[in-house]
Structure 1
């Protein structure tokens, strides 16, 4: 990379985080123009291929490894589409444990499992059935994105285990092998299942399930038949199954065989640790961020990969050489002096992702607020251009819907999201908006459901929650307001002081009293500037003398009364 982009060295660097309520404006047109210029640097052959694509997407992966925690961003035509970062918190999603049943809750139809971590894991009875029946899927956890292929006839309903048999088969104290399908979120412990999956680049091994499957995102009929034929030739143990991932589309059989062998070796190591384990413990963790990026992100759709750390560059090229050598020419070492995320307009887009208010290109805005129960999104027309147009409200909602779905993915928002769109009277417009959201969500790798607009113009989106949202990872609850986001007003605190003074006055009804009122300096300044008349009236009415003092260490919601 060129060394031409340099900034003068500063003697002092000041940083001040912007309030989350402050909108962060990103010039998307300029960013897309810059990405278009970079796309022209590709080889002539690649540019000719792009001419025949309906959807022209220039996909770049930026890997920032010079910091203590690595960060990875994926942009499409310059616009940030995915962002992941390492954190100092242990991520349990995908980890496999040897556990011990600690408690059975018949009312919840669930077990609590000691997995050797700080909190016990939650295991629903439905998630124990795969272990009992040797099946990875049932009507309660079936994945609609996978076509199930049975290598052998399924067990009859008479012989299949039911949830009523779980307490008998797994009493308290039983050992069980489980995998985390949801990390610790907030005060809740992880959720686990007995349906174990080991993802590879092209395949997912299901070592405790005989069922196999093919991703429905592979739409070509002939390709699906080819993969079914390969499945019959794979040397797969009878008690195991595999799922063909989307990346297996067009993949040679030798690559699939190699991927399967890697996964089988991984499972053998897990079984060896299991046999040696004396009690609940961790058997397997998901690979590092870089390994997951190589496995899941660096597909043929990626046009360029930039890495700013030589050690990471060497690691990635070595791994890619083993599994996809044709991708090597796309991986470059970034050498500019400007930080890679700043150079390619990633940092400003991350800042926008952390903001509460997101401006829309045509003048409207969306407001996103995450709570423990759900995420609320409000769509405002604001200064939207085109107010005279009869369809401008529909256009605002379409524009907002596209950005909302992008933000949900970027922020890794799980659970229930309620979107308050601008009200539309026409049933056709409401239906088209719903269909548009459905279409946009098809590219989300996380299982997501969307429901039609209610009579109040609200749309419900349910997205499977595996790990904490980006907001929860990068922000800690405010140590001052305990995460509430609000403080008691100075007027309300003055009412509390009056209540305490009245109580003291009642205990000694006749003698004059003198008190020192100690408060935060901000409170004292405000009270003496706004409540002087009220203070004098209280002193006269209750025969009190008040001396106001300040303590900078005192919380603005607290006060001390000292009798003098």
Structure 2
């Protein structure tokens, strides 16, 4: 059973999807952090890098978008431009954002535009028909493919979405006709003369996207704790899929919605490096600039038969939790998993098979690549929007993202080195006063370093603790 829970405050909207009583995904949208993914802009090329087959495009948001042009420009784009030619500086082109700006990197754009509807995704610049991998019944796939072939506009393409399973040809045709009109309207706006970059189309906000992409017959209920948002969703579903209206419910209890379902604590734990497994084992997740690394440990789990079976059982359990955490934290890019070593090749193959079955349940494209000779499983997962981690957390102002600071002993040694340099230039007869973080002050009071230094230069050294000081910073003042 699947449920969708929506909690709303003026500053943010949080949407949780639960499957069989367990949290499977969480999305947050804040008024101050609007997503760009899906938006279509009239962009202006600012720079072309032939060596990288890429260009930087001004979309009017402050940060230029990076666009890979190695795969060329779609034919439809060339027709939209007044003079079809190679991309050059100053040229105006329609682009769609496929990846939000993350950290110092700007958003990523493409000229291969997609327009999502309820049942289909229109591909105005690509003439082919695709199908959701979640539609598995061969007869239904054939039926939908035949319908798509009949209703697809000439020169365009379609992707049949999961929710289209069982839908009538009329419903799909209405979707396609609306999206085709939208595309022609966007192209008309693009051809209008205007200076600089501007927005042609804004993708739906979180509430509408959740209804469009997640509200299906499989959902038992959608609970919303805000009257205005409830009414908006009610009106949208009434127009889109009236048969799903009974699933939309207004949550009126005094206890906060997320607290009632035990989600507040679970969402807070998504920032933790460690994830406990039911058996007693645990996962450790570490993120780097290039990839995410996940380590699997048996922890307190000792099993009941032999070591080989204990390891295999832990890995199988870990595989399920890893795939769940990838969805919950919306981890994208390259993921390396260090499972516990297994001796039997059959167990390794079964683990990969299990991971691939679990990956099919993820709405975001996830690829289980292989297991290396060192026993590391390689996974890739599409990364587009800012994930929960980047929205909720910011870089630590103390360690600047390193996750550690210099030890008090290391800082003490640096202080001693600085005093020696100062003494070699000129002797401080009255000695020095040192201001340090309280942990460093404690270290200096309990080791012989300053005593030895004072004896070496025949002077007095006074230590003052400054609690608000950075643990790695200090000041050395000559006493008068």
- Residue 19 of structure 2 is matched in structure 1 by 76
Deviation by residue 1:473-503 (Cα, 9 ceiling, x = unmatched): 2111112222222111111111111111111
Asked if 1:344 is matched to 2:261, the reply is yes
Q: Which has the higher contact order (CA 8 A, sep 6+)?
A: 1
Asked if 1:92 is matched to 2:36, the reply is yes
Partners of 1:503 and 1:380 in 2: CA distance: 48
**What is the Cα deviation at residue 227 of structure 1?**
2.3
| Match 2:341 to one of 419, 423, 447 | 423
**What is the Cα deviation at residue 534 of structure 1?**
2.3
| Match 2:53 to one of 95, 100, 109 | 109
**What is the Cα deviation at residue 513 of structure 1?**
5.1
**What is the Cα deviation at residue 354 of structure 1?**
2.4
Tell which deviates more after alignment, 238-247 or 260-269.
260-269
CA contact (8 A) 1:100 1:280 kept: yes
- Residue 199 of structure 1 is matched in structure 2 by 116
CA contact (8 A) 1:134 1:210 kept: no
**What is the Cα deviation at residue 326 of structure 1?**
1.0
- Residue 65 of structure 1 is matched in structure 2 by 8
Partners of 1:131 and 1:543 in 2: CA distance: 82
| Match 1:519 to one of 436, 452, 458 | 436
| Match 1:558 to one of 455, 473, 479 | 473
CA contact (8 A) 1:127 1:194 kept: no
Partners of 1:185 and 1:514 in 2: CA distance: 50
**What is the Cα deviation at residue 442 of structure 1?**
1.1
CA contact (8 A) 2:432 2:478 kept: yes
| Match 2:270 to one of 340, 353, 362 | 353
| Match 1:543 to one of 458, 467, 471 | 458
**What is the Cα deviation at residue 214 of structure 1?**
2.8
Asked if 1:264 is matched to 2:264, the reply is no
Unaligned runs of 5+ in 1: 1-57, 136-166
3-state SS, counterpart of residue 52 of structure 2: coil
- Residue 217 of structure 1 is matched in structure 2 by 134
Asked if 1:432 is matched to 2:432, the reply is no
CA contact (8 A) 1:128 1:193 kept: no
CA contact (8 A) 2:411 2:472 kept: yes
**What is the Cα deviation at residue 363 of structure 1?**
0.9
| Match 1:398 to one of 316, 319, 335 | 316
- Residue 446 of structure 1 is matched in structure 2 by 364
- Residue 459 of structure 1 is matched in structure 2 by 377
CA contact (8 A) 1:359 1:365 kept: yes
Partners of 1:221 and 1:453 in 2: CA distance: 31
Partners of 1:392 and 1:281 in 2: CA distance: 59
3-state SS, counterpart of residue 500 of structure 1: helix
Partners of 1:460 and 1:216 in 2: CA distance: 21
**What is the Cα deviation at residue 272 of structure 1?**
4.0
- In the TM superposition, what are the counterparts of 1:2-81 in structure 2 within 5 Å? 58-66=1-9, 68-81=11-24
3-state SS, counterpart of residue 293 of structure 1: helix
**What is the Cα deviation at residue 127 of structure 1?**
4.5
Asked if 1:124 is matched to 2:68, the reply is yes
Ranges of 4+ aligned residues in structure 1 off by more than 4 Å: 131-135
Higher strand share: 2
In structure 2, relative to structure 1, the CA distance for the partners of 1:259 and 1:426 (3 Å cut) is same
**What is the Cα deviation at residue 512 of structure 1?**
3.6
**What is the Cα deviation at residue 232 of structure 1?**
4.4
Partners of 1:64 and 1:524 in 2: CA distance: 47
- Residue 169 of structure 1 is matched in structure 2 by 86
Unaligned runs of 5+ in 2: none
- In the TM superposition, what are the counterparts of 1:152-551 in structure 2 within 5 Å? 169-234=86-151, 237-276=153-192, 277-389=194-306, 390-508=308-426, 512=429, 514-528=431-445, 530-531=446-447, 533-551=448-466
When the two structures are aligned, how many residues end up with a matched partner?
A: 472
Partners of 2:271 and 2:168 in 1: CA distance: 42
**What is the Cα deviation at residue 446 of structure 1?**
1.7
CA contact (8 A) 2:5 2:15 kept: yes
Deviation by residue 1:421-457 (Cα, 9 ceiling, x = unmatched): 1111111111111111111111222222222222221
Tell which deviates more after alignment, 465-474 or 546-555.
546-555
Partners of 2:85 and 2:228 in 1: CA distance: 53
3-state SS, counterpart of residue 103 of structure 2: coil
In structure 2, relative to structure 1, the CA distance for the partners of 1:349 and 1:127 (3 Å cut) is farther
3-state SS, counterpart of residue 402 of structure 1: helix
Deviation by residue 1:118-155 (Cα, 9 ceiling, x = unmatched): 221111123533347889xxxxxxxxxxxxxxxxxxxx
3-state SS, counterpart of residue 63 of structure 1: strand
- The CA RMSD measured in Å over matched residues stands at 2.1
In structure 2, relative to structure 1, the CA distance for the partners of 1:383 and 1:60 (3 Å cut) is same
**What is the Cα deviation at residue 539 of structure 1?**
0.4
Deviation by residue 1:228-258 (Cα, 9 ceiling, x = unmatched): 3323443x54343322212111101222222
